Amino acid sequence: MTLEDTVASTTGEDVTRYPLDPLSGAEIQAAAAIIMASEYATPTLKFVMIQLAEPGKTPTLTFEGLDDVPRCAFASMYDAAAKMIYEAVVDLGARMIDSWTAVPGRFPSYLVEHMTGVEEKVREDPRWQEAMRQRGVTDFGLAMIDPWPAGYYGAADHYENSPLICRPLTFMRAAPSEHGYARPVEGLIVTFDLDAMEVIDIEDHGVVPLPPTAGNYSEQFMFDPNNRPAFTEFRDDVKPIEITQPEGPSFTVDGWKVQWQKWSLRIGFNPREGITLHEVTYTDRGETRPVMYRGSLSEMVVPYGDTSPTHWNKNVFDMGEVGMGFSANPLTLGCDCLGEIHYFDGTVNDSSGNAVTIPNAICMHEEDFGISWKHTDFRTEEVEVRRSRRLVISMICTVGNYEYGFFWYLYNDASIEVEVKLSGVLTTGAIAEGEEPRWGKMVAPGIYGPNHQHFFNFRLDMNVDGAGNSVYEVDSIPEPDPDLNPHRNAWITRDTLVASESEGARDWEWKTGRYWKVVNPSKRNELGSPVAYKLTPKDIVPVMVQEGSYIYDRARFVQHNLWVTKYDPKELYAAGDYMYQSADAQGLPEFIADDAPLEDADVVLWYTVGAHHVVRPEDWPVMPCAYTGFHLKPVGFFDGNPALDLPPSPPKACHAHGGGHPVAHVARES
């Protein structure tokens, strides 16, 4: 395909793409072709990420009815010969580069070939081979070598013209399809030059015997007596559950636009963030009301609490150093979703600028979610009950050993929930027989899981009932005036305005049941209060990252539960644009430095959720899902229960066995 043909493929039907729609494969390749045909191209220039350059906000917070918004691509690139990152904005319609920016002193996230090419090169290294022979390993083909991001060892990792590096860790399979993480090679660390694709150094901190038992979980090995735990058969008492919607789903899809009951939104996807939500609105009695302009995962980090040589530097920013979109699973096998499903493909790039399609990267379906509301009048025995339903938009990402599921739930009571599901396989360490790990827990003979945490920061660009919002911290406290609290039972809520960015780093307080609300001071409900949405935490995780550690400065966003900033289109990532192999604090600490005013402003919430993992034997050999997340709920946004108009469920939707009456009711004696 010629350059003209490639660029021409962005005209025609692509001209009608909505300004927030993700780049198509043709647009990705067109952007790469325009750059490689320009004066900026070099033989060693590689594409890191190519994604939509999102247009700036409009006064109406939507692009509906606008036909002249340019389609632009944002490309980040790395030139290993120049040791330089470059950024470009490409106007696809005009076939020109709008901007070209060098970013010195930073390192890129992984290129696609880094994830596959490192293993082969390490296997060929004679120093690594000798270290493996000392452990009794001669069949190097069974080794799994995971290209862990470099972390940060100190100034030697980041000097002028230093290479882009990673620090691979080795695991041994006993057979080609076996669970390799059951046999970690403890104490062996490779330092690998990703620029030259060669081993720089081998650290060997001493031989620890490979763990003796298998840890397989697939059907192929399920009943192997060497497994821990060992089972002899599958359960035979799990009866089928079938999810059917004979009239089809309640949602409609037009390209990337989704409408479901009273919700309307647009879905996006890019290599770094994966799923993004845009222009989220709710129709209330005929009026379309904005709730959130853009929602996305902003960053995540996994700090390990084990000071052993193989584990202490594991501080992976899985989004910023690898990419959630790149890591998305094609949801075509297994049972990731149930029901009437609509899939969206994800399109990313390889390092040459070719488009790569991840089929079914995003799953969307509806779920019954129990009771929405109910009341029984015990005098008349009249019962009113309505069932809750939610729209589920999800993506599951595999980053090495871990699986992360990201789920956005929209409920028919106008609330939004974000949930992260953590599964997959523990990062493991080996330990000599008779020893106990100090910084972790045993999961099987010879195998332990280090103490660690996972933190996920979500960026919520709010526009509650329009532009101009303010954020309040809400605490419940005992009535402070003794004269008004003679029975010592009264309590009130106290609202504290987050007036400027210098006050924008906030912490949760369990003693006061703290939450935060985003209000629109120019819009009032029928009671005269400003309309609002509140952010309510779920499980709050204590931060074990300690001041003085390298990861403390690299991941400052974990030091506070909530950050509030004024909208800036360049501020998208909580730990900054490029944190790989760098020690300094970026992102949110920089964003709040100018102390922008936040009252009646265009505000962005950055909320961090965590998972605190002291491992259990029950987490082995594959983890049951752990859950974390938060909720956004309307507070005075409506004049009453927005789910009041849900229709009753037909009787045929409920099936009973036995002789019980469908409504069981016991009245209390007076």
Instruction: Let me know whether 294 and 224 are in one domain.
Output: no
Per the domain annotation, does 615 fall within a domain? yes
Boundary-marking domain end, from 174, 205, 239: 239
Share of the chain above pLDDT 70, in %: 94
Per the domain annotation, does 86 fall within a domain? yes
Per the domain annotation, does 229 fall within a domain? yes
- Residue whose C-alpha is closest to residue 273's, from 51, 11, 536, 3: 51
Instruction: Let me know whether 274 and 166 are in one domain.
Output: no
pLDDT at 356 over 70: yes
Determine the pLDDT at residue 157.
Answer: 76
Confidence band (pLDDT; 50, 70, 90) for 228?
Answer: confident
C-alpha to C-alpha distance for 181 and 170, rounded to whole angstroms:
9
| Catalytic entry in 304, 402, 472, 515 | 402
Q: How far apart are the first and last CA of the chain?
A: 84
Instruction: Let me know whether 321 and 332 are in one domain.
Output: yes
318 is catalytic: yes
Instruction: Let me know whether 467 and 506 are in one domain.
Output: yes
402 is catalytic: yes
C-alpha to C-alpha distance for 167 and 147, rounded to whole angstroms:
6
Confidence band (pLDDT; 50, 70, 90) for 627?
Answer: very high
C-alpha to C-alpha distance for 145 and 181, rounded to whole angstroms:
10
Share of the chain above pLDDT 90, in %: 83
- Residue 248 in contact with residue 260, Cβ under 8 Å? no
**Residue 78, CB-side half-sphere exposure with 13 Å CA sphere:** 21
Boundary-marking domain end, from 208, 239, 270: 239
Per the domain annotation, does 658 fall within a domain? no
pLDDT at 670 over 70: no
Instruction: Let me know whether 257 and 212 are in one domain.
Output: no
Q: What is the 3-state secondary structure (H, E, C) of 418-466?
A: EEEEEEECCCCEECCCCCCCCCEEEEECCEEEECEEEEEEEEEEECCCC
Cα 184 to Cα 209, 496, 651, distances in angstroms: 9, 50, 56
- Residue 335 in contact with residue 242, Cβ under 8 Å? no
Q: What angle do CA 205, 209, 212 make, to 5 degrees?
A: 150
Express each pLDDT in 14-33 by its tens digit: 447 999 999 999 999 999 99
Instruction: Let me know whether 473 and 503 are in one domain.
Output: yes
Beta strands in 591-668 (DSSP E): 603-613, 623-635
Strands 562-566 and 603-613: antiparallel
Instruction: Let me know whether 175 and 122 are in one domain.
Output: yes
Determine the pLDDT at residue 9.
Answer: 44
Per the domain annotation, does 10 fall within a domain? no
Neighbours of 622 (CB within 10 A): 17
Instruction: Let me know whether 418 and 322 are in one domain.
Output: yes
C-alpha to C-alpha distance for 608 and 233, rounded to whole angstroms:
41
pTM over 0.85: yes
Confidence band (pLDDT; 50, 70, 90) for 53?
Answer: very high
- Supply the mean pLDDT for the chain: 92
Confidence band (pLDDT; 50, 70, 90) for 46?
Answer: very high
**Omega of the bond leading into 647 within 30 degrees of 0 (cis):** no
pLDDT at 418 over 60: yes
pLDDT at 652 over 90: no
Per the domain annotation, does 379 fall within a domain? no
- Residue 451 in contact with residue 305, Cβ under 8 Å? yes
pLDDT at 91 over 70: yes
Boundary-marking domain end, from 202, 217, 239: 239
C-alpha to C-alpha distance for 637 and 337, rounded to whole angstroms:
32
Confidence band (pLDDT; 50, 70, 90) for 665?
Answer: very low
| Catalytic entry in 79, 146, 306, 318 | 318
Instruction: Let me know whether 298 and 334 are in one domain.
Output: yes
pLDDT at 668 over 70: no
Overall number of domains in the chain: 3
Instruction: Let me know whether 159 and 221 are in one domain.
Output: yes
Continuous H helices in 400-451: none
Instruction: Let me know whether 310 and 191 are in one domain.
Output: no
CATH at residue 116 = 3.10.450.40
| Between 528 and 650, the higher pLDDT residue | 528
Per the domain annotation, does 348 fall within a domain? yes
C-alpha to C-alpha distance for 73 and 392, rounded to whole angstroms:
29
Determine the pLDDT at residue 3.
Answer: 41
pLDDT at 156 over 90: no
Instruction: Let me know whether 129 and 94 are in one domain.
Output: no
Per the domain annotation, does 73 fall within a domain? yes
Q: Which residue range is the domain that position 77 belongs to?
A: 25-103
CATH at residue 267 = 2.70.98.20
